[in-house]
Amino acid sequence: MAWEDMTELEKKLFDYIKNHDFESQKWSSSAASHALGCREDDVYDALANISKNLKDRIWIHYDNGLRISVE
């Protein structure tokens, strides 16, 4: 999957993650949904699609809370 194949929400979410430091701050799906103006379930779906289709550009791990970074 290429960037142009992503939905608008997936692109916005990718940029949201890229522009915030979720390595040192805990990830919050509810804060992301509020910032992006969508439902929290939509954030979960978009994050799952990004992690599936751009797996070489996103890192998700747990360190006293969920941590996410993209490249």
Listed by start position, the domains of the chain span 7-70
Residue in this structure with the two tokens 């805990």, named with its chain if needed: 26
pLDDT digits (tens, 9 = 90+) for 48-71: 999 998 888 999 988 888 899 988
- CATH level 3 topology of 7-70: Arc Repressor Mutant, subunit A (1.10.10)
pTM (global) more than 0.85: yes
> Is the pLDDT assigned to residue 44 strictly greater than 70?
yes
Q: Taking Cα atoms as reference points, which of 8, 15, 11 lies closest to residue 68? A: 15
User: What average pLDDT does range 23-50 have in this prediction?
Assistant: 95
Are 27 and 68 in contact by the 8 Å Cβ rule? The answer is: yes
Q: For position 66, what pLDDT does the model report?
A: 87
Could you give the percent of the chain with pLDDT greater than 70? Answer: 99
DSSP state of 25: S
> What backbone torsions phi and psi does residue 38 show, to the nearest 5 degrees?
-140, 180
Residue 1 has pLDDT above 70, yes or no: no
Mean confidence (pLDDT) of the chain: 92
